[in-house]
Structure 1
Amino acid sequence: MPPLRRSSVVSQAAATRTFEVRHVQLARAFFAALAAVMITFTPDHSAAVGLSVFSGFAMATGIVLLLAAWLVRPGGRRAPAVALGVVTILAGMVGGLGGIRSITLFFVLVIAWALLAGVVELVAGVRARRRGDAAARDAVFIGALTILLAVGLLLVNPAYSLEYFIKEAGATFELTGISIGVGIFGAYAAIVAVFLGIAGFSPRPAVATADDLTASAGESA
């Protein structure tokens, strides 16, 4: 059978690609926004609430990443998405164990996840940038931001506690380490939601990768 023309392969690859990188970005932005809203409008920033929100965010995001590994990523480039998805889902599962939720668990779990996930996504983004991948910049930013989340939480003393009185409210309030930590995670989720939301809605040229062309040509042969 004669080889297919490049233009024909590109059009076929584009036609069969139902899910794209933008769909992954928008799905991640949605779940990050949901986490940010829940933390922002919940006055209780305890470890139980923080871990509950983190667990839901991590589980949903991890599933999106694993699905993207097969529906979006070309063959040979799925390992980072799979690793990121597995790490995120495992962190979400641990955070979902209600019987062991504590202040210590929140800081240890979220910091460990942020370091692992951040490094994986940052390295994947740097490698993708060398290949000229259009989504590489987004991966580099989110990876670096996730590492910064870990650094920010490392700077918070979990045992910190400060009582203060607001005259206008006529009440005494307490600022604690866990409330600061949950707030930092909420801010992180908000930034992720805005950045990936903008990236997902931004127009970009439809470009078929070399893997897409090779895979399509092989299937047609």
Structure 2
Amino acid sequence: MTPTPAARTFEVRHVQLARAAFAALAAVMITFSSDHSAEVGLSVFSGFAIATGLIFLVSAWLVYPSGRRWPALALGIISVLAGMAGGLAPLRTVAGFFVIVGAWALVSGVLEAVVGWRGTRTPAARREIVPGVADARPLAGQGPRSESRDALVIGVLTVILGIALIFIPAFPALDYSIDQVDQTFTLTGIIIGVGVFGGYAAIVAVFLAIAGFSPRKPADAGATATAAAGTTAVNEEGSTS
């Protein structure tokens, strides 16, 4: 009889909660900052991207089994590189903010959305059945459907961020005044861009926190029944021999 492998100490929910924590930190830093310049925006993004990338890279070995590590590795490398680029002083310009953050959002968003979409499209019949393991894992490269749906949503939100950052630079400067303080302010594209990134971080933080704290559904009944049948067959063969 094949022994059941021990449960992993770290699960997908821990990855989601860690990502939510750093996204919430980025949202708070931008929300409560009166300076929405490119320097501040890229400083916050740099820390957020590097932290998120490290979470992905660590989770590739602590959370995901062999065959399902490449999405986490790819997303981790993309995020770390983007965060390092955002930390370079010569690139902390208005154009640098839109190029770095926009490129990261489009590349990582498309990748995460595609991985999530593939996971939701995987039929139950293709799931790998491992005798002796009640919670049989999906085929290599595919994750549980709840995790895949979460990845798809986050990927789509990230792509929307990237698309928004493409059009925001064309926004003309707008002067406005507040009578209560008797001052005139100028609303520029970079202020909107940094604010949009902060809003994105807040939405991601809330969504991933809800996903992380939500109870996990048990394995599909069909997969569990088939796994149980496989275990019985193995036991019968062992007793016969």
TM-score by length of 2: 0.79
Name the structure 1 match of 2:6.
13
Matched residues in 2 for 1:158 and 1:96: separation? 25
Tell me what 2:172 maps to.
160
Q: Distance in 2 between matches of 1:51 and 1:80?
A: 25
- Report whether the alignment pairs 1:73 with 2:64: yes
The amino acid across from 2:165 in the alignment is L
AA in 2 matched with 1:153: L
Cα distance change of structure 1 residues 42 and 32 upon mapping to structure 2, 3 Å threshold:
same
1:192 aligns with 2:204: yes
Unaligned residue ranges in structure 1 (runs of 5+): 214-221
The alpha carbon displacement at 1:163 in A equals 1.4
Per-residue CA distance 1:88-133 (angstroms, 9 max, x = gap): 0000000011233100000011110001000110111112223461
With the length of structure 1 as denominator, give the TM-score of the two structures: 0.86
- Residue equivalent to 1:201: 213
Structure 2 counterpart of 1:46, from 32, 37, 50: 37
* CA distance in structure 2 between the aligned counterparts of 1:62 and 1:13, rounded to whole angstroms: 27
What is the aligned counterpart of 1:111 among 96, 102, 105? 102
* Separation of aligned partners in 2, 1:106 and 1:65: 23
- Residue 55 (str. 1) matches residue 72 (str. 2): no
- Whose radius of gyration is greater, 1 or 2? 2
| Matched-pair contact (CA < 8 Å) for 1:62–1:84 | yes
The residue identity in structure 1 corresponding to 2:150 is: D
Count of matched residue pairs: 202
- Determine the structure 1 residue equivalent to 2:129: none
Contact 1:26–1:200 (Cα < 8 Å) also in 2: yes
Moved over 3 A (4+): 205-210
Asked if residue 171 in structure 1 is aligned to residue 162 in structure 2, the reply is no
Distance of aligned partners of 1:51 and 1:113 in 2 relative to their CA distance in 1, 3 Å threshold? same
Where structure 2 has 5 or more consecutive residues not aligned to the other structure, the ranges are 125-143, 228-241
Q: Which amino acid aligns with 1:71?
A: L
- When the two chains are superposed, the root-mean-square deviation of aligned CA atoms in Å is 1.9
Deviation at 1:34, TM superposition (A): 0.2
CA contact (8 A) 1:103 1:158 kept: no
Report the AA paired with residue 186 of structure 1. G
After superposition, the C-alpha distances for 1:125-174 in whole angstroms (9 at most, x for unaligned) are: 11222346131110000000000001111121267311111111211111
Secondary structure of the structure 1 residue equivalent to 2:206: helix
Other structure's SS at 1:163 match: strand
* Corresponding residue number in structure 2 for 1:86: 77
Q: Distance in 1 between matches of 2:98 and 2:190?
A: 8
Match of 2:158 in 1: 146
| Counterpart code for 2:92 | R
Q: Deviations over 1:164-195 (max 9, x none)?
A: 11111211111010000000000000000000
* 1:96 equivalent in structure 2: 87
Name the amino acid aligned to 1:172: T
Tell me the equivalent position of 2:16: 25
